[in-house]
A and B are shown apart, each in its own frame.
Chain A
Amino acid sequence: MGSYIVRRLLQAVPILIGITLLTFFIMQLAPGNPMQTMINPKIPLSEMQKVQEELGFNKPVIYQYFNWLKEILQGNLGYTIKTGQPVTQLILERLPATLLLTCTAFLLSFVIGIPLGVYSALHRNKTPDYVLTVVSLVGISIPSFFFGLGLIFLFALKLGWFPTSGMKTIGKDLTGFALYIDYAKHIILPASVLALPTVAVVMRFTRSSLLEVFSMDFIRTAHAKGLSKSVVIFKHALRNALIPVITIFGLSIPFLFGGAYITEHIFNWPGMGSLGISSIVGREYPVIMALNLFTSILVLAGNLIADISYAWADPRIRYS
């Protein structure tokens, strides 16, 4: 197992290099450049070229890429073009908020999705199952900006239960438990928006996986042993049924971080997603690259964790 993990980590290095290479070039293909967003358009072209030379943007792209790579390997994510702030610092400031949001959404997805899937499977082809099928279809199809605005309209504006945006109440000096309550109130709406599609997918997956397991011979054996229905369902069927759900677990990590871009924007959540959007608009290449690198590492880590979880959940799977 240990050597398997080491091998997977080594494999990740060329993959990461490939990803950064691709994103670096794609980014350069996009129209516009950082100078246009920071310099007054009335400034003469010669001045603009001077700034460009100072920043090194007149060099060939491949040269720029290796320059960037050299710095990365030394642990330097670069500096923002406009303010010269270190990118590492910028990201570390935003990371906790994003982690809080995505982890909450991740937990919600499985804590809500799995029980609903089980419920749906147990009531197969009856009214509750049909209702949940429609709900999950809507959950997968509805765009998050629309769902988010709907929630804000209903729960924040009409009912006033939750705040419309932000991560905590500004101007209030809360401590201890009251602070957690404040965070919780702020996170409910964005986390729900972010979790909804994953809840729907987890629910459908759990349902079909469980129904498949129900028809297997060892379930009949379990009944023949005299076990109660709930032991058969939760001990014998569910553990087998959840093995394929681990795949969703791995896939949902990049999905949630990607979804955070839009959700954070809607709810003005001070995380990496909103940083990402403003960086793309401002053509802040170093920030975009750093965020990309971070997300790629997350995706690879998510896949690795999913593969390790398989071996943990299913004794038939062993890596060597």
Chain B
Amino acid sequence: MSDNLLEIKELSTGFFTEDGFLPALDKVSLTLKKGETLGVVGESGSGKSLTSLSVMNLIPTPGKAVGGEILFKGKNLLQLGEEQMRAIRGNEISMIFQEPMTSLNPVYSVGEQIMEVLRLHQQLDKKVARAKTIDMLRLVGIPSPEKRVDDYPHQLSGGMRQRVMIAMALSCQPDLLIADEPTTALDVTTQAQILDLMLDLKERLQTSILLITHDLGVIAEAADHVAVMYAGKVVEYAEVKRFFREPLHPYSQGLMNSIPTLEQTRERLQVIRGVVPTLQQMPKGCRFCTRCDEKQTLCEEEAPPLIGYQGSQVSCWKYTERWEPSPR
């Protein structure tokens, strides 16, 4: 218990719309140990970002967490009031976003925006906060930080802005950094630099990272554990080496097969057939059954639970006793 920094238990989040309640996250459970990096991977709309926004309690209206628990250092974040939650945001849990180009306020200098966090959570006076801001900018590898501190976001490149975001997020030495697709909007060389920077700072500042991405390459490089999400559910949770050696869930296998390799001479990319069902037409049983090649009647009728299997967790009937071995 004590070495679990973040424990999400059966979190259900959904949107209250005119068409009724749409369940976007269905009993999502994740565990992040202290000092670890947990990669959450899935395609667009799988609920990765919504999970991270739920942790921050920043779900856009009309969304709301309707069930489950989010335990952070043993406290259930879903039961905290707005005031208590604000004291945690930016201080104990920080977040960086996908779009460095638009995530910074264009009318304030980057220094001002970093200082704001320091002055809010650490009650530093202006001079000290400024000195610390310059230190943070130096830490994230921004050249001549004494000058850059007064620059406005538009004067910096995308990679530099993401560094500023990282500096801002880490300025109060948070226990948890949520990185929502931090490298997606950057070009490939910058992606690698930013990822290296995050991993380096994670070691130095003892921060745990919840890394949201759709890029399995990023997971392979950065994460200790990986959670695969599909249509608002965690379908597999595994140690990262094991996951890449032997993915268990048919969806994970499909994802792995769709990565093109240099050795292959096939002309067509392998894909998972079909599309993610919309929230309105979610199947009653396993949410992946409409696209699964191995599905059985059971899959269509009942949703599989997340079960332990050889040290991993997987949500598929295949690994239970109720699975009927194929006749062949």
Partner of A228, one of B86, B108, B152: B86
**Given contacts A225-B116, A227-B86, is CB(A218)–CB(B58) below 8 Å?**
no
Q: Which of B88-96, B212-220, B238-246, B293-301 lies on the face that meets chain A?
A: B88-96
Q: B90: which A residues are within 8 A, CB to CB?
A: 224-227
A216 to B102 alpha-carbon distance, docked (Å):
7
| Contact partner, A217, options B97, B107, B121, Cβ 8 Å | B97
Q: For the complex, what is the distance from the CA of A118 to the CA of B104, rounded to whole Å? A: 22
Contact flags A234-245 to B (C-beta < 8 A → 1, else 0): 001001100100
A315 touching B107 in the complex, CB below 8 Å, given contacts A224-B56, A224-B90, A224-B94 = yes
A231 to chain B, nearest CB (A): 8
Would A314 and B107 count as touching, CB distance under 8 A?
Answer: yes
Question: Residues of A contacting B106 with CB < 8 Å?
Answer: 218, 240, 314-316
- Of chain B, the residue at the smallest CB distance from A224 is B95
Contacting pair B120 A224 (CB below 8 A): no
CB contacts (< 8 Å) of A225 on chain B: these are: 89-90, 116-117, 120, 168
Instruction: Point out the residues of chain A lying under 8 angstroms from B56, CB to CB.
Output: 224
Q: Does A221 contact B (CB under 8 A)?
A: yes
Q: Give bound CA distance, A224 to B180, whole Å.
A: 12
> CB within 8 Å of B: which of A227-275?
227-228, 236, 239-240, 243
* Cβ of A90 under 8 Å from chain B: no
B154 beta carbon closer than 8 Å to chain A: yes
Is B270 interfacial (CB 8 A cutoff)?
A: no
Q: Are A223 and B103 in contact (CB under 8 A)?
A: no
* A313 on interface, CB distance cutoff 8 Å: yes
Which one, A217, A239, A314, A316, contacts B99 given CB within 8 A? A217
Would you call B154 and A222 a contact (CB within 8 A)? no
Q: Is B87 an interface residue (CB 8 A)?
A: yes
Q: A217-B102, A218-B102 are in contact. Are A226 and B152 (CB under 8 A)?
A: no
In the complex, which residues of chain B have a beta carbon less than 8 angstroms from the beta carbon of A223?
58, 89
- Say yes or no for B278: interface residue by CB 8 A criterion: no
B105 CB-CB contact with A under 8 Å: yes
Q: Tally of A-B residue pairs with Cβ under 8 A?
A: 67
A-chain residues with CB within 8 Å of residue B103 when the two chains form the complex: 217-218, 220-221
Residues of chain A lying within 8 A (CB to CB) of residue B86: 226-228
Interface string of B158-188 (1 = CB under 8 A from A): 0000000100100000000000000000000
**CB-CB contacts of A198-233 with B at 8 A, as 1s and 0s?**
000000000000000000111011111111100000
**The one of A224, A228, A240, A313 that contacts B105, using a Cβ cutoff of 8 Å:** A240
- What CA separation (Å) do A223 and B116 show in the bound complex? 12
Whole-angstrom distance between the alpha carbons of A223 and B86 in the complex?
8
Residues in chain B near residue A243, CB distance under 8 A = 107
Q: How far is the CB of B240 from chain A (nearest CB, A)?
A: 27
Smallest CB gap from B104: residue in A: A218
Closest residue of chain B to A313 (Cβ to Cβ) is: B107
Do B117 and A226 touch across chains, with their CB atoms under 8 A apart?
A: yes
Tell me the bound Cα distance from A223 to B93 in angstroms.
Answer: 12
Q: With A and B bound together, what is the CA distance between A220 and B95 in angstroms?
A: 10
Is the beta-carbon distance between A224 and B58 smaller than 8 angstroms? Answer: yes
Q: Which of A220, A240, A313 contacts B58 (CB 8 A)?
A: A220
Least Cβ–Cβ distance between B167 and chain A, in angstroms:
12
Q: Contact: A227 with B58, CB < 8 Å?
A: no
Contacts A221-B97, A224-B94, A240-B106; A316 near B152 (Cβ below 8 A): yes
A-B pairs with beta carbons under 8 Å apart, 19 shown: A216-B102, A217-B102, A218-B106, A220-B58, A221-B97, A221-B105, A224-B95, A224-B97, A225-B89, A225-B90, A225-B117, A226-B87, A226-B91, A227-B116, A240-B107, A314-B107, A315-B106, A316-B152, A316-B154
A-B pairs, top 4 by smallest CB distance, nearest first, are A226-B89, A226-B90, A225-B90, A217-B102
Known: A224-B90, A315-B107, A316-B152. 14 other contacts (CB 8 A): A218-B106, A221-B97, A223-B58, A224-B97, A226-B86, A226-B88, A226-B121, A227-B90, A227-B116, A227-B120, A236-B105, A240-B107, A315-B106, A315-B154
